Amino acid sequence: MALLELRDLTVRYGGRARAVEAVRGVSLTLDAGETLGLAGESGCGKSTLAMSVLRLLPSSATIDGQILLDGEDVTTMKWGRLRAVRWTTAAIVFQGAMHALNPVRRVRDQIAEPIVLHADTPPSAAAVRKRVDALLAQVELPAAKGEAYPHELSGGQKQRVMIAMALACDPRLVIADEPTTALDVIVQAQVLSLLSRLVAEQDIGLVMISHDLAVLASTCRRLAVMYEGRLVEEGDAKQVIADPRHEHTRSLAAAFPTVGDPVFRYAPATSNELGLPDPPSAVPDDEPLLRAEDVRVTFTGRGRREVTHAVAGVDLDVRRGEIVALVGQSGSGKTTLARTILGLQQATGGRVLFEGEPVPASAKGLRAYRRQVQLVLQDPTSALNPRHSVYESVAEGLRIHKVGGDERAHVAAALEAAELRPAEEFMPLLPQQLSGGQRQRVVIAGALALEPRVLVADEPVASLDASVRGEILALLLRLRAKLGLAALVITHDLGLAWNIADRVAVMYQGELVEVGPVDEVLSDPRHDYTKSLLAALPTTGEQ
Amino acid sequence: MTSPRAASPRALAWRRRGDAFAAGWRQFARQRSGLFGLGLLLVIVALAVLAPVLTDREGLNVINATGGPLEAPSGEFPLGTDRQGRSVLLLTLWGARMSLTVGFVAALLSIGIGTIIGILAAHYGRWVSAGLMRITDFFLVLPSLVLAIALSTVLNPGIGTVILAIGITSWPPSARLVRAQTLTIEARPYIERSRALGGGHLHVITKHVLPAVLPLVFVNTTLAVGSAIVAESTLSFLGLGDPDPMRPSWGSMLRSAWLDSAVIAGAWWYLLPPGIAIAIVVLAFTMCGRALESVLNPRLREG
């Protein structure tokens, strides 16, 4: 008998009249000890599918079809039985460990919670303690960490705690919903290997949900791809990735490039008819347009004792029409460096030069400088004022700089340049009426309206879906080819650097440890840190 | 696309505001207490505004008073008369003008100061914030009644002094509230985007911060009017209001009722009308304010 069997499962949200089908007729089976990866973009119904297994859906959801957990139908279970099944038979590692832990309780007590809840007779404190220590050991955390509160742990440690919680009642099935999304590459690799080890050792069935095929391929044996609520492809993970049959799988596989594979060089996945510009011929080795000289930023903590060197002496050039990728883990100081270059953050030492001139410190001089160097933020949803229409958002810069001429024509041109066509139709819309990719295009259009020379983009695609990601990156490449726009792209994603950048600068603890052409640095890394970054990349298993 | 293509962005923005207002009104209309309070307020304001049309102001003049001292309610004087023989109904009606004016203007003054200080403190941060918030703290711990009394004695007695006294003593809570709201707005990435576009302080404050803070300010003004009316009554009752008998307020009516020993004389009709009027107006403002609050702050809306 299969551990988990879904038979023609359909989940609808909302009332009968305006029901939205999140999952449409999905059938799946999973045996004990098997690992299944569930891939798809946001909104494809993969999380709904996972939550339906334990009936953790909001009350507005209606479920049709059967969910057999160990041969027993979850949809018809009585409340008491369902309560018993939750966590003892199947457990969930929730998305976003940062928010799924209670901030005011010790980690140890949170792990113990299901143990105490599901015991027939209340277990002794010593027994619970022993069990929690064993669980912490399983996820490779020292027992002393149990006394910590969630905010005292790092992201990776929190995710380990979540896994320990899921294992607390010896479930036979573990569902991991995007377990590594918010984590760094290196931490991600550690968490993934931990999950794989535990599943193999304890003969647990694992359903892992992710939008990243490489992550799934490195942990799961089988792979299922969802698209618009339907299961469009299922099969052996290696085979699905190597030879995707459905179009959507193909675009998902292409969205995450293989670093080092020349096929993906200067070729982000795009289905736009404009295509991609030719790879640039040798970058002209002329004067740098933007130059950071020995830039230092130091933050002083309370009491002036704790001093953090966020940026510790960085030299970086961006030449005309060049795309430079600034790569590093979170906390490496890359965002602070970008803010300093834009003049949003005061440098403690060193200076930033634009066209050979130091960036002015006066309000008026800074304003003129900012017309030349524009910023694109990470999350387009929060980067646009929800009260401003697309037109107002794009025109904001024009109004600030009192650009003369026909404002409407300028806005239309900027929207066209960001490939929002027809521009007229987008102008009256509010940000919440747009998709994530369109919002990011509006942010880019707002920057382009001022006809800048350099674009500083902070994780421009980190919060976007896989298919949109390629389109935005392709847009950056086309803008460079058409307008000669230089860009400094900040990212934690080496694949992005491989996709579009000419040069890459690797940042580690406030310093640039390696700078050079992308092909050289990523193919033949010199510095240990770059090597470990590359080694931590999940691979689709072909190498 | 439903919108006509030729419409200018400004017209579109105004239409959007109109739509938002209509949606807000529908939310407001769903709350019975809010509607009731609004209706009550409209009636009271109409009566106060129309007082010169409906009645003769000369009736307030002590020399022209027609009734006897402390007459009980009768057909001629529905709410009786005061010690000077003036109609209490007439006094209450004209008192509404005074109390409402002081309430509105003082509330606007207080919220105005609070909003400006709150936004400036949150926007500039660092030492500006530290300085402004220390000033706010100073006013917060100052006993407001004592300060108001001190001010009223130093300045010439009159409506202006009362308004100033109330305005200056009641702004700190709204400054703290607006500062907190501004801080959350300032943390949004679109503020950073605006800065990177080259926007200065004025641009960020007027285009992004103020529109986001205004709903909160609006709700607070409504709630503040009620407490300003109570404060005005208190000051007038203590004899710090306008001494002119031709310009009565509810507070000064209560004062003269007390001075004329209305309780001992058993003249309940002299005490109750201004007291009840204060209670009703404050209640109406509070009901309106709470309803508005739940419209503009979705977090307070019940599931």
Residue A124 backbone phi and psi in degrees, to 5: -70, 155
For residues B275 and B273, give the distance between their C-alpha atoms in angstroms, rounded to a whole number: 5
Q: Which CATH superfamily is domain B25-55+90-300 in?
A: MetI-like (1.10.3720.10)
Q: Which chain B positions have a beta carbon within 8 Å of A428's beta carbon? A: 3, 7, 9, 12
Q: Is A96 helix (H, G, I), strand (E, B) or coil?
A: coil
Look up residue A157 and give its two tokens.
């440690």
**Single-letter amino acid, residue B296:** L
Asked if A145 and A157 touch (Cβ cutoff 8 Å), the reply is yes
Closest CA to B72 of B55, B57, B56, B85: B85
Closest CA to B142 of B153, B131, B134, B154: B134
Asked if A112 and A128 touch (Cβ cutoff 8 Å), the reply is yes
How sure is the predictor about B7, in pLDDT bands with cuts at 50, 70 and 90? low
Asked if B98 and B255 touch (Cβ cutoff 8 Å), the reply is no
How large is the average pLDDT for residues B248-270?
83
Asked if A19 and A222 touch (Cβ cutoff 8 Å), the reply is no
What is the pTM (predicted TM-score) of this model? 0.74
Digit-coded pLDDT (tens) for B8-33: 667 777 877 788 788 888 888 888 88
Give B38-42's long-range contacts (Cβ < 8 A, gap of 24+).
Answer: B38/B284, B38/B287, B38/B288, B38/B291, B40/B280, B40/B283, B40/B284, B41/B281, B41/B284, B41/B285, B41/B288
Region label for A358, one of left (φ > 0), alpha (ψ between -120 and 50) or beta (otherwise)? beta
The nearest alpha carbon in chain B to A340 belongs to B196
- Using only C-alpha atoms, chain A has a radius of gyration, in whole angstroms, of 25
Q: Which chain A positions have a beta carbon within 8 Å of B212's beta carbon? A: 387
Look up residue A422 and give its two tokens.
């027809």
Region label for A484, one of left (φ > 0), alpha (ψ between -120 and 50) or beta (otherwise)? left
For residues A341 and A335, give the distance between their C-alpha atoms in angstroms, rounded to a whole number: 10
For residues B121 and B182, give the distance between their C-alpha atoms in angstroms, rounded to a whole number: 9
Residue A251 backbone phi and psi in degrees, to 5: -70, -35
Q: Which chain A positions have a beta carbon within 8 Å of B193's beta carbon? A: 375, 377, 383-384, 443, 446
Residues near A372 by Cβ (< 8 Å), separated by ≥ 6? A354, A452, A453, A454
Residues near B295 by Cβ (< 8 Å), separated by ≥ 6? B24, B27, B28
The nearest alpha carbon in chain B to A425 belongs to B1
- B residues 191..210 contacting A (CB < 8 A): 192-200, 203, 207-208
**CA–CA distance from A341 to each of A295, A400, B60 (Å)?**
9, 20, 72
Question: Can you give the pLDDT at residue A98?
Answer: 64
For residues A175 and A166, give the distance between their C-alpha atoms in angstroms, rounded to a whole number: 9
SS (H, E, C) A157-200: HHHHHHHHHHHCCCCCEEEEECCCCCCCHHHHHHHHHHHHHHHH
Residues pairing with A515 in the sheet: A505
Q: Which chain B positions have a beta carbon within 8 Å of A450's beta carbon? A: 197-198
Q: Do A450 and B197 touch (CB under 8 A)?
A: yes
Digit-coded pLDDT (tens) for A149-191: 887 887 778 888 888 888 888 888 888 888 877 677 777 888 8
Asked if A120 and A203 touch (Cβ cutoff 8 Å), the reply is no
For residues A385 and B193, give the distance between their C-alpha atoms in angstroms, rounded to a whole number: 10
CA distance B5 to chain A (A): 7
Question: Can you give the pLDDT at residue B175?
Answer: 92
SS (H, E, C) A201-251: HHCCEEEEEECCHHHHHHHCCEEEEEECCEEEEEEEHHHHHHCCCCHHHHH
For residues A200 and A219, give the distance between their C-alpha atoms in angstroms, rounded to a whole number: 10
- Look-up of token digits 């494809």: A44
Element (H, E) at B259: helix B250-259
Q: Given A387, A427, A446, which is nearest B197 (Cβ)?
A: A446
Which CATH number is correct for A288-536, 1.10.10.10, 1.10.1060.10, 3.40.50.300, 3.40.50.620?
3.40.50.300
Element (H, E) at B36: helix B32-54
CA distance B191 to chain A (A): 8
- Residues forming CATH 3.40.50.300 domain(s) in chain A: 288-536
Residues near A173 by Cβ (< 8 Å), separated by ≥ 6? A3, A4, A30, A53, A69, A89, A90, A91, A204, A205, A206, A207
For residues B246 and B94, give the distance between their C-alpha atoms in angstroms, rounded to a whole number: 9
Q: Do B199 and A382 touch (CB under 8 A)?
A: no
Q: Which chain B positions have a beta carbon within 8 Å of A391's beta carbon? A: 9, 12
Closest CA to A7 of A32, A34, A25, A31: A25
Look up residue A431 and give its two tokens.
């940000």
The nearest alpha carbon in chain B to A398 belongs to B197
Look up residue A490 and give its two tokens.
């900040």
Q: Which chain B positions have a beta carbon within 8 Å of A396's beta carbon? A: 194, 197, 199, 207
How sure is the predictor about B82, in pLDDT bands with cuts at 50, 70 and 90? confident
- Look-up of token digits 């339907």: A230
Q: Which chain B positions have a beta carbon within 8 Å of A389's beta carbon? A: 9, 12-13, 16
Q: Given B193, B203, B212, which is nearest A375 (Cβ)?
A: B193
Closest CA to A174 of A209, A222, A136: A209
Positive/negative CA dihedral, B76, B77, B82, B87: negative
For residue B301, pLDDT beyond 60: no
**CA–CA distance from A370 to each of A192, A204, A395, A447, B230 (Å)?**
42, 55, 15, 10, 52
- Show the low-confidence residues of chain A (pLDDT under 50): 542-543
Burial class (CB in 10 A: 0-12, 13-18, 19+), A210: buried
CA distance B105 to chain A (A): 30
DSSP A302-344: GGGT-EEEEEEEEEEEEETT-EEEEE--TTSSHHHHHHHHTTS
For residue B120, pLDDT beyond 90: yes
Q: Where are the domains of chain B?
A: 25-55+90-300
Inform me whether the C-beta atom of residue B25 falls under 8 Å from chain A C-beta atoms. no
Q: How many CB atoms lie within 10 A of CB B62?
A: 12
Digit-coded pLDDT (tens) for B105-114: 999 999 999 9
How sure is the predictor about B179, in pLDDT bands with cuts at 50, 70 and 90? very high
Question: Can you give the pLDDT at residue B302?
Answer: 45
Q: Which chain A positions have a beta carbon within 8 Å of B188's beta carbon? A: 382, 385
Element (H, E) at A27: strand A20-30
Complex prediction ipTM: 0.71
For residues A107 and A217, give the distance between their C-alpha atoms in angstroms, rounded to a whole number: 31
Q: Given B13, B190, B199, which is nearest A389 (Cβ)?
A: B13
Q: Do B192 and A344 touch (CB under 8 A)?
A: yes
For residues A6 and A68, give the distance between their C-alpha atoms in angstroms, rounded to a whole number: 6
Digit-coded pLDDT (tens) for B25-60: 888 888 888 899 999 999 999 988 888 888 877 777
For residues A407 and A412, give the distance between their C-alpha atoms in angstroms, rounded to a whole number: 9
For residues B247 and B244, give the distance between their C-alpha atoms in angstroms, rounded to a whole number: 6
Q: How many CB atoms lie within 10 A of CB B99?
A: 29
CA distance A375 to chain B (A): 6
Positive/negative CA dihedral, A47, A53, A55, A59: positive
Question: Can you give the pLDDT at residue A97?
Answer: 62
Q: Do B207 and A446 touch (CB under 8 A)?
A: no
Q: Is B171 helix (H, G, I), strand (E, B) or coil?
A: coil
Asked if B145 and B234 touch (Cβ cutoff 8 Å), the reply is yes
Residue A24 backbone phi and psi in degrees, to 5: -125, 105
Question: Can you give the pLDDT at residue B3?
Answer: 42
The nearest alpha carbon in chain A to B208 belongs to A385
What residue spans of B73-209 are helical by DSSP H? 88-124, 126-141, 144-154, 159-170, 172-186, 189-196, 201-203
Give B68-73's long-range contacts (Cβ < 8 A, gap of 24+).
Answer: B70/B260, B70/B262, B70/B265, B70/B267, B70/B270, B72/B267, B72/B269, B73/B269
Q: Are strands A35-39 and A222-227 parallel, antiparallel or unpaired?
A: parallel
Asked if A390 and A434 touch (Cβ cutoff 8 Å), the reply is yes
Question: Can you give the pLDDT at residue B5?
Answer: 46
Chain Cα centroid distance, residue B298: 23
DSSP A117-162: HH-SSPPPHHHHHHHHHHHHHHTT--GGGGGS-GGGS-HHHHHHHH
Asked if A418 and A442 touch (Cβ cutoff 8 Å), the reply is yes
Q: Are strands A20-30 and A35-39 parallel, antiparallel or unpaired?
A: unpaired
Question: What's the half-sphere exposure (Cβ side, CA atoms, 13 Å) at A305?
Answer: 1
